Amino acid sequence: MDLEHAIADVRRRVQAQNRTPLPLPPKNPSRRWRKWPFVVLAIFAFGALNEPEKPASDAKVYGWQSEAPPGRIVTTPGPSYRDLEVADFKWSLQGFGNIMMLDSVTVKNKSAVAWKDVAIACELYGKSGTKIGSTFRVVYDVVPASGRKKFRELNMGFVNGQTAKAGCEIVTAARAG
């Protein structure tokens, strides 16, 4: 019996030495990222709560209006890109009927200032008169003061193939020089 106990004891020791510890379950990577949305939200909330309130007298009016005290809107006299208008345009659909081309467009400048980088926007309508889209392009050229400028073959990009009517206007421009 002694021998059997000794052999069993040796076997247990050998098994204990060869036994590797049980592997730990893998960490769930998604669990680690669960707290980040809350951290980001807390940062934004902290920033919003600590932003100083601006008094109404510091309010600014941008664009063609000057800075004015509350309750008053003062317009700046002088030329504006609103003095530009699309006097005439012709368009067509090309590229299997999905690309709008402004074959020619005439921009009229009613101000005494030259304008550059004129943005032309077109609203598109189907045969029924329903608005089905819009597109715009910037023309990197100069429209002379109190004059007209004709642009040819402007690619307005992809449009709905059912476009039957279009209306174009100037949406912005920058003073030249």
Name residue, tokens 């402007």: 154
Q: For residues 154 and 100, what is the distance between their CA atoms, to the nearest angstrom?
A: 9
Sequence-distant (≥ 6) Cβ neighbours of residue 114 within 8 angstroms = 142, 143, 144, 145, 175, 176, 177
The answer to the question of residue 106 being in a domain is yes
The answer to the question of residue 150 being in a domain is yes
Ordered DSSP codes for 135-151: EEEEEEEEEPTT-EEEE
Predicted TM-score (pTM) of this structure: 0.55
The answer to the question of residue 12 being in a domain is no
User: In this predicted model, what pLDDT tens digit does every residue of 38-56 receive, in sequence order?
Assistant: 777 777 676 666 666 555 5
- Least confident range of 57-61, 140-144, 170-174: 57-61
The answer to the question of residue 156 being in a domain is yes
- Among the listed residues 159, 116, 151, 154, the one whose alpha carbon sits nearest the alpha carbon of residue 135: 159
CATH code (residue 154): 2.60.40
The answer to the question of residue 125 being in a domain is yes
Tell me 52's DSSP state: P
The answer to the question of residue 101 being in a domain is yes
The answer to the question of residue 102 being in a domain is yes
User: In this predicted model, what pLDDT tens digit does every residue of 58-99 receive, in sequence order?
Assistant: 444 444 444 445 555 555 667 777 889 999 999 999 988 899
What residue type is assigned to position 117 of the chain? D
Q: For residues 163 and 159, what is the distance between their CA atoms, to the nearest angstrom?
A: 7
The answer to the question of residue 90 being in a domain is yes
Q: For residues 19 and 85, what is the distance between their CA atoms, to the nearest angstrom?
A: 86
Number of domains, the chain? 1
Range of the domain at 109: 81-175
